[in-house]
Amino acid sequence: MRRILVVDDEVDIAKTLSAFLEMSGYEVVTAGDGVEALQEVVEHRPDLIITDLMMPRMDGGTLIARLMSSPTTKDIPVIAISADRNEHEFPFLRKPFSVAQLVTLIERALGPDSA
């Protein structure tokens, strides 16, 4: 079973994403910000990370930069989600997004039969 780390400081969003992903056959781990996410990456080694960009302590952009700069984590695919209107260099979903959009990005990152 593939493991996905969901990183979001908004508890309701993290719970909703987690429930959908679990129903889709993924194992889900959550973190409330980038600092917690880095700890979870070490403990659980996810196959994919879905992260919000705007969070306290460590934002998603900083988290992604840290992950990409480390030889042990640079190969973990990341999908960013945010209400942010800026363009980004990584897979990005603008809130609000549809389940179909999320599934498309997950399948692109992990493969169509990834669950």
What is the predicted pLDDT for the residue at 12? 95
* DSSP secondary structure letter of residue 24: T
Least confident span in 39-43, 63-67, 104-108: 104-108
Asked if residue 96 has a cis previous peptide bond (ω within 30° of 0), the answer is: yes
What is the predicted pLDDT for the residue at 47? 98
pLDDT tens for residues 2-21? 999 999 999 999 999 999 99
pLDDT at 90 over 90: no
- Using an 8 Å Cβ cutoff, are 109 and 5 in contact? no
User: What are the chain's domains?
Assistant: 3-107 (3.40.50.2300)
- Segment 81-86 shows an average pLDDT of 79
pLDDT tens for residues 21-56? 999 999 999 999 999 999 999 999 999 999 999 999
CA angle 33, 34, 38 (to 5 degrees): 125
Q: In what order do the strands lie in the sheet with 27-31?
A: 27-31, 3-7, 48-52, 78-82, 92-94
Any idea which residue has 């960013």 for tokens?
80
What is the predicted pLDDT for the residue at 111? 84
